[in-house]
Structure formats: structure tokens, C-alpha cells
Amino acid sequence: MILSMFMAPEKAAPAAQKAAETAQAAQAVADPTLHKQGAGAVWETVSPWAELPQASTFAEGVDLLYMFIVALSVFFFVLIMGVQGYFMWKYHRKSDDQKTSSITHNGKIEFLWSAVPAVLLVVIFVWGEVDFLKQSVSPPDAVQVRVTGRQWFWTVEYPDYPGVQLTSSVDENAVTLVVPKGKPVQLTLTSEDVIHDFYIPAFRVKRDVVPGRYTTFWFEATQVGEFNLYCAEYCGDQHSAMIGKVKVLDPEHYAAYLIEAGKLEQEEGESMAAYGQRIYGKRGCNACHSLDGSPKIGPSWKGLWNKQETTDKGSVTIDDNYIKESVLEPNAQIVVGFEGVKMPSYKGQLDDKQISAVVEFIKTLK
């Protein structure tokens, strides 16, 4: 198909994949923090010549208009270059005193080659405008999602599912956004710092994420699967690391997934350290703090407990008090070397019990 020449793929979705997806969805309900962990990026490498999935109701229309413009462009390009090539061949200079034509203009031709493109351009314009307007009026029953962009990760929350908070992290292959298939989803986005942009190529949607105001767009996903999500407005050092995964689930699994994802209480028989590790994965700590010593946006947690550190306010020992302060008032004492980073506060988002669990988890990271 012509499309395959121009588009690249993320995941092929044949029957086997569907089976795996159902199994994974079932498993996801049981353990919503199922991630692939690892130092290297776990984004699948697929052939550059496979197709970008048409995974939303907008995608086919956008692709069709795109291909229409491609077709017209190819037609006119071949025409113009063909004529040019022909003239180059036929009218190359054969002798130095060769005579040339005195033609300087032709009203009929000039009118035609102005009017025909003008008409075609109007057609393209109208088509693009109509499709664009469809994208801006969200259906009234859309699932509501709130997205916050920060340097350099996304936080996604669901007003209908309190306590659910999904984040992005390039290393963790974290699921950033979960949506049900076949239902409209409206995103309301804002930024805590600079302008970002929320871009899901498979859905053909994109919107800037601006500090101090809200932008909004909607879509309806048509395929179960996982799709890449990118920040598409340059936002500083780690702009290219601000990528995430969008997971589309069948509506039956979607609700269960989010309810599981929202639960953040210490389970029966679970140690505080294990609880703290789950909090690490589900409250966005993993976006900026590594566990293996490798430098990320913030200091690594490996070997952090009882470490002597130099901060911008003097020397400090990393203990319960310092960690709690860093969680609630992160910019009170910043470790030297991280002065430029503005860690967001977790005041109101983590209670004392959860902070203690995080401390216990950190203690295990020698």
C-alpha cells in the first residue's frame, strides 16, 4: 500500500499480538505496575518502512488528506520537472549564434497556471479546516484526563479515578496515559514550567502544553495497544527524554486497570521498603531518580542513606529529616550540582506513612 512507503510503525497488531494483549491486560489488572525495567531503552525497534498505526478516529482522515496532497505534489512535481527536463534536453545550446524565441508571455497559459493551483489549494484548505474543527470540539461524554507537563516528565491524572497518577520515564518504559478503546477522551493540559507539547503520532494529535493556562484536545482510540508519546516543543536539556507510552485497553479492562493503579496503600504482609518501592514507581520518583547510581535529572538513590552531602546551604547528612524535607520542600536545601533543577513538591500527595516507606526503601539501596 502506498502508505507503507511513507509511514513507519510502532507495533504490528496481528492476531498473536491480540492474544498477547489480552493476556497482558489481564496481567495488568493483577499488577498495574508491570514495567520493563532496565538501563537501556526498551522501545521496540521496528522497521522504518512499516506503517504508522492509524490508532484514532482522526488518523484515517488525516492520512487520506496527507496522501491527497502527496498525490497532487507528485503530479505537479513530475509535470514541472518533466517539462523542465524536456526543455533542457531539447533546447540545449547547439551553436553559439543559435536563435531563441521572442515569446515573453502568454495570457491564457498564465491565467490557467494561476487559477488551477488556486482552486486546488482552496480544496485542500477547506478539507484541512473541516477535519481540524472536528478535532477541536470534544464530545460531551468524553472521559476526562488531566495532564501536567514538567521538565522533564509527564504526570497524568484522572478526575474520575482519584489517587491515580501515571508518569513518564524513558528508562522505565512507564505507561503514561491509559485510555479506553472506542470512547472519546478529552485531555486538559498545563505546564508547571516551560512550554511543552503532547504528541501521539499514532493518533495524529498534538497540542502545546503552556504554563499558566490550559489547552485541550480530544481523541478516540481505535486500536488496543501501546503507542509512543513525545514532547514536541523544545523545553531544555532533557526534551528528548520526555517520552512516554500510551496504553489503549478494552473498556472492561480500562476501569480495572486504573482502579488498581490508583491504589497506593501498604498491602497486608508487605514490608515498608516494598511499599516504598511501589511508591517510587507510581508517584513519578522514577522519572528523575535512578536506583543504580547512574545520574539522571536528580541524584541517584543508590547509597543515599546516611550519605554526607554538600548542599547549597552547607553540609548535610541524608537522613529521615532531609528526605522528608526534600519531598515536601524540595528546594530548601539542594545538593550541589543540581541547583538548576526545580523538583516539584509532593505536599498533599504523599502522607507521612508513604514518606517513611520511601525512606525505608532508600535504606535498602546500598
Partner 1 sequence: MADKESKHEAGHAREPSYLVAQKGLKSWLLTIDHKRLGMMYLGATMVFFFIAGMSAIAFRTELLTPGPGEISWVLEKLGMDPTQSATTYNKLFTVHGAVMVFLVIIPSVPAALGNFLLPLMLGAKDVAFPRLNLLSFWVYTLGALFFVYTLFAGGLDTGWTFYTPYSSNFSGTAVLSATFGAFILGFSSILTGLNFMVTIHKMRAPGMTWNRMPLFCWAIYATAVIQVLATPVLAITLMLLIAEKTLNIGIFDPAMGGDPVLFQHFFWFYSHPAVYIMILPGFGIVSELIAVHSRKHIFGYKAIALSSVAIAIISFVVWGHHMFVSGQSELAGIVFSFLTFAVAVPTAIKVFSWVATLYRGSIQFNTPMLYGLMFLFTFTIGGLTGVFLGTLSVDVHLHDTYFVVAHFHYVMMGGTIIAFIGGLHHWWPKMTGRMYPEWQGRWASLFIFVGFNMTFFNQFVMGQQGMPRRYYTYVPQFQQQHVLSSIGAYILLVGFLWIAYYLLGSLRKKNAPKEPLPDNPWGGASLEWHTQTPPIEHNFHGQPRVDSDPYSFPQIDRTGQVDHH
**Restricting to residues 122-181, which ones interact with partner 1 according to CB under 8 A?**
122, 124-125, 127-133, 135-136, 151
11 binds partner 1 (CB under 8 A): no
Q: What does the alpha-carbon distance between residue 171 and residue 94 come to, in Å, rounded to a whole number? A: 65
Q: What does the alpha-carbon distance between residue 198 and residue 243 come to, in Å, rounded to a whole number? A: 9
Span from 156-164, 191-199, 260-268, 323-331 in contact with partner 1 (CB under 8 A): 191-199
Q: Please, what is the minimum distance in Å from the beta carbon of residue 138 to partner 1?
A: 12
234 binds partner 1 (CB under 8 A): yes
**Between 170 and 249, whose beta carbon lies closer to partner 1?**
170
14 binds partner 1 (CB under 8 A): no
β-strands 225-231, 244-249: how paired?
A: antiparallel
Q: Would you give the distance in Å from CA 21 to the centre of its chain?
A: 21
Q: What does the alpha-carbon distance between residue 330 and residue 288 come to, in Å, rounded to a whole number? A: 13
According to CB under 8 A, which residues from 283 to 302 bind partner 1?
295
**Between 154 and 275, whose beta carbon lies closer to partner 1?**
154
| Residue from 336, 316, 328 nearest 355 by CA | 328
Q: Please, what is the minimum distance in Å from the beta carbon of residue 33 to partner 1?
A: 23
> What strand order describes the sheet that includes 225-231?
175-180, 244-249, 225-231, 196-200, 205-209
Q: Please, what is the minimum distance in Å from the beta carbon of residue 101 to partner 1?
A: 3
Residue from 20, 71, 121, 332 in contact with partner 1 (CB under 8 A): 121
Residue from 157, 193, 260, 320 in contact with partner 1 (CB under 8 A): 193
364 binds partner 1 (CB under 8 A): no
Q: Would you give the distance in Å from CA 203 to the centre of its chain?
A: 11
Q: How far is CA 260 from CA 11, 329, 332, in A?
A: 26, 29, 34
Span from 15-23, 88-96, 254-262, 357-365 in contact with partner 1 (CB under 8 A): 88-96
